[in-house]
């Protein structure tokens, strides 16, 4: 940085006007702590642009004066990406005021928005036009479209609609030197050479700041059926999944695996939630089918239940008979995440495996965790239909914070080694950020590390934008990254 912090604040105040810059520690506090409250950052200041041109102005200024910067959306990311560094203060560029709906075209099934629009707002706008924007996740009331693009978010309906990468048709991006790339095209097919927007999707803000997004919409479902099914084990859940994929085809929009321990966590967080079935079961599947046209979903799901019962995969089940009952079933899925938060610092993962290997992986990983720490509770649930598990670990409550962190690190290392053995991924959804960096780099080939490093160099040679996310702070991993033995 070739300029003082107060000079940065003075210049950006002039650029953004009243309310554009926050600088007191009280005003900046919510931008300086991550969603879980586990980590604290130390922002240089928080800039809150309202337009793409203002974002470009800030970034050009930072580029000229070598000021480190990081984009922040709804700040719900789970790998510390949007959190400003604690040691080398970064300018937080919050997109919260860049939040206008630009254009909806229901015939083209597209919606163009500023990147700071909250996901729930986007879903509501789509619904007002009898369309559906299908990205659904627990943080949808706070996370922003730009953050969803930057993390290539997944969520509950990936099975049917794909991840964010499949839902983006166009992007507008401010590059690390302040130039604006306008790729806001609303085309369903466009095969002209390199698809530049894909570089920014999932790049976690390391290659540019997303300011506008053209989203792909779908017909609004007219009918939905939601069911919770009790199953004896993960293998039975997989068998039921195979049946559901074939008998419900592409109408299957969610297939979530929930162990009993997760239900108990949900009841901790939301004691008024009723136990959905009379007899507790070791595992449950929460599934949903939706249709926009005249399809007999009831018959479809009953056929699935019957086939599952005959195959010994289904022990019991409840089919929601009203929207309220369906919402209560989905509330379990939400509350169990809140329940984990009540247990303080724990390990959150978002691993992916080939679906066919999930049963064996599940058993092997459970055994390996118990061998290291029998008192640690495994909370492994997730988007089974995508091969994506949140294999989370609650350490023994009596350990102090340092001991918990040491234990969780050892467990994570072992877990990721097993994931590697199964040719899986250490991140299916949340990205790499700062917390998964070592494991990510360990899993890359030398050529992959070189290509990724070259890409970052091309866009951001001074490493000023989101430095230390995905790649180490200094961008030549060949020199600065030491693979673990
Ligand atoms: C309760 C809960 C449930 C969740 N469920 C899911 C789930 O089911 N599936 C899933 O995939 N994820 C899930 N997540 C995590 C998910 O990554 C985020 O919720 C969301 O995608 C991040 O959006 P955000 O606006 O909060 O981004 P932030 O947290 O603000 O930022 C995330 C990353 O993107 C970058 N970024 C943000 N905005 C921009 C921008 N405009 N341009 C460039 N870079 C930007 C940041 O620098 C950071 O690296 C969940 C999180 C929570 C708290």
Average pLDDT over residues 335-354: 93
Ligand 1 mean position, distance from CA 143 (Å): 6
Burial category of 236 from C-beta neighbours within 10 Å (exposed 0-12, middle 13-18, buried 19 and up): buried
Taking the C-alpha atoms of residue 443 and residue 417, their distance in angstroms, rounded to an integer, is 10
User: Mind listing the pLDDT tens digit for each residue in 448-465?
Assistant: 999 999 999 999 999 999
pLDDT at 485 over 50: no
Predicted confidence band of residue 474 (pLDDT cuts 50, 70, 90): low
With a pLDDT cut of 90, the percent of the chain lying above it is 89
pLDDT for 405 equals 94
φ, ψ dihedrals at 454, nearest 5°: -65, -40
pLDDT for 150 equals 98
Give the residue, out of 58, 121, 150, 207, with the most ligand 1 atoms within 8 A of its beta carbon, to mutate for a pocket test.
150
pLDDT for 480 equals 45
Give the residue, out of 47, 59, 79, 82, with the most ligand 1 atoms within 8 A of its beta carbon, to mutate for a pocket test.
82
CA-based nearest residue to 67, from 95, 90, 46: 90
User: Mind listing the pLDDT tens digit for each residue in 153-209?
Assistant: 999 999 999 999 999 999 999 999 999 999 999 999 999 999 999 999 999 999 999
φ, ψ dihedrals at 467, nearest 5°: -60, 140
pLDDT for 478 equals 46
Give the residue, out of 76, 202, 253, 257, with the most ligand 1 atoms within 8 A of its beta carbon, to mutate for a pocket test.
76
Neighbours of 230 (CB within 10 A): 21
What is the DSSP code (8-state) at residue 452? H
Per the structure block, which two tokens stand in for 176? Answer: 């690390």
CA-based nearest residue to 352, from 391, 408, 378: 391
| Ligand 1 closest atom vs CA 72 | 30
Please name the residues in contact with 276: beta carbons below 8 A apart, sequence gap of 6 or more: 228, 284, 318, 328, 329, 332
User: Mind listing the pLDDT tens digit for each residue in 352-384?
Assistant: 999 999 999 999 999 999 999 999 999 999 999
User: Mind listing the pLDDT tens digit for each residue in 249-258?
Assistant: 789 999 999 9
Ligand 1 mean position, distance from CA 429 (Å): 9
Strands 351-352 and 388-394: antiparallel
Please name the residues in contact with 44: beta carbons below 8 A apart, sequence gap of 6 or more: 5, 8, 67, 68, 84, 89, 90, 91, 92
Ligand 1 mean position, distance from CA 74 (Å): 7
Ligand 1 mean position, distance from CA 280 (Å): 34
pLDDT at 425 over 50: yes
Task: Pick the range with the lowest mean pLDDT from 111-115, 222-226, 478-482.
Answer: 478-482
With a pLDDT cut of 70, the percent of the chain lying above it is 98
Ligand 1 mean position, distance from CA 78 (Å): 7
Taking the C-alpha atoms of residue 241 and residue 252, their distance in angstroms, rounded to an integer, is 10
pLDDT at 476 over 90: no
pLDDT for 292 equals 85
Collapsing DSSP to helix, strand or coil, 471 comes out as coil
Q: Which residues line ligand 1 (CB under 6 A)?
A: 35, 70-78, 81-82, 95, 115, 137-139, 143-144, 146-148, 150-151, 153-155, 204-205, 209-210, 337, 429-430, 433, 466, 469
Instruction: Please provide the average confidence, as pLDDT, over all residues in the chain.
Output: 94
Give the residue, out of 92, 117, 139, 141, with the most ligand 1 atoms within 8 A of its beta carbon, to mutate for a pocket test.
139
Using the structure block, give the residue that is written with the tokens 């234990």: 407
pLDDT at 293 over 90: no
| Ligand 1 closest atom vs CA 140 | 19
User: Mind listing the pLDDT tens digit for each residue in 298-326?
Assistant: 999 999 999 999 999 999 999 999 999 99
Taking the C-alpha atoms of residue 330 and residue 156, their distance in angstroms, rounded to an integer, is 10
Average pLDDT over residues 89-111: 97
Query: Half-sphere exposure (CA, 13 Å, Cβ side) for 282?
Result: 9
Average pLDDT over residues 52-57: 98
pLDDT at 484 over 70: no
Ligand 1 mean position, distance from CA 33 (Å): 14
pLDDT for 467 equals 96
């Amino acid at each position: 940085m070739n300029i003082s912090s107060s000079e940065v604040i003075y210049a950006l105040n002039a650029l953004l006007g009243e309310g554009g810059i926050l600088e007191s520690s009280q005003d900046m506090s919510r931008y300086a702590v991550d969603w879980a409250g586990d980590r604290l950052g130390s922002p240089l200041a928080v800039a809150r642009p309202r337009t793409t041109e203002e974002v470009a102005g800030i970034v050009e200024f930072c580029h000229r004066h070598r000021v480190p910067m990081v984009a922040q959306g709804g700040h719900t990311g789970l790998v510390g990406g949007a959190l400003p560094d604690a040691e080398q203060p970064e300018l937080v560029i919050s997109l919260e005021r860049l939040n206008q709906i630009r254009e909806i075209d229901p015939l083209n099934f597209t919606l163009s928005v500023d990147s700071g629009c909250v996901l729930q707002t986007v879903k509501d706008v789509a619904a007002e036009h009898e369309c559906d924007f299908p990205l659904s996740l627990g943080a949808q009331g706070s996370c922003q479209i730009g953050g969803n693009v930057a993390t290539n978010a997944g969520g509950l309906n990936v099975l049917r609609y794909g991840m964010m990468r499949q839902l983006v048709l166009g992007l507008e991006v401010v590059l690390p030197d302040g130039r604006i790339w306008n790729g806001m095209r609303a085309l369903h097919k466009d095969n002209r050479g390199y698809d530049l927007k894909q570089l920014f999707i999932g790049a976690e803000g390391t290659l540019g700041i997303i300011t506008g997004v053209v989203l792909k919409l779908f017909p609004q479902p007219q009918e939905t059926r939601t069911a919770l099914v009790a199953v004896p084990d993960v293998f039975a859940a997989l068998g039921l999944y195979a049946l559901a994929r074939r008998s419900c085809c592409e109408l299957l929009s969610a297939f979530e695996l929930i162990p009993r321990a997760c239900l108990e966590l949900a009841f901790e967080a939301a004691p008024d939630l009723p136990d959905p079935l009379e007899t507790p079961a070791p595992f449950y599947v929460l599934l949903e089918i939706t249709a926009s046209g005249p399809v007999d979903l009831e018959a479809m799901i009953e056929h699935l239940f019957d086939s599952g019962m005959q195959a010994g995969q289904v022990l019991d089940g409840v089919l929601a008979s009203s929207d309220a009952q369906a919402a209560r079933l989905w509330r379990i899925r939400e509350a169990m995440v809140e329940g984990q938060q009540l247990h303080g610092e724990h390990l959150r993962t978002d691993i992916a495996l080939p679906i066919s290997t999930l049963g064996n992986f599940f058993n092997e990983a459970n055994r390996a965790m118990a061998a290291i720490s029998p008192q640690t509770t495994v909370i492994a649930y997730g988007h089974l239909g995508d091969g994506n598990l949140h294999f989370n670990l609650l350490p023994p409550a009596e350990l102090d914070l340092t001991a918990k962190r040491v234990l969780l690190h050892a467990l994570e290392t072992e877990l990721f080694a097993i994931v590697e053995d199964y040719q899986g991924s250490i991140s299916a959804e949340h990205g790499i950020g700062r917390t998964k960096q070592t494991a990510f780099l360990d899993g890359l080939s030398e050529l992959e590390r070189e290509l990724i490093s070259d890409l970052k160099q091309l866009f951001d040679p001074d490493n000023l934008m989101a430095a230390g996310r995905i790649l180490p702070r200094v961008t030549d991993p060949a020199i600065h990254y030491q693979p673990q033995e």
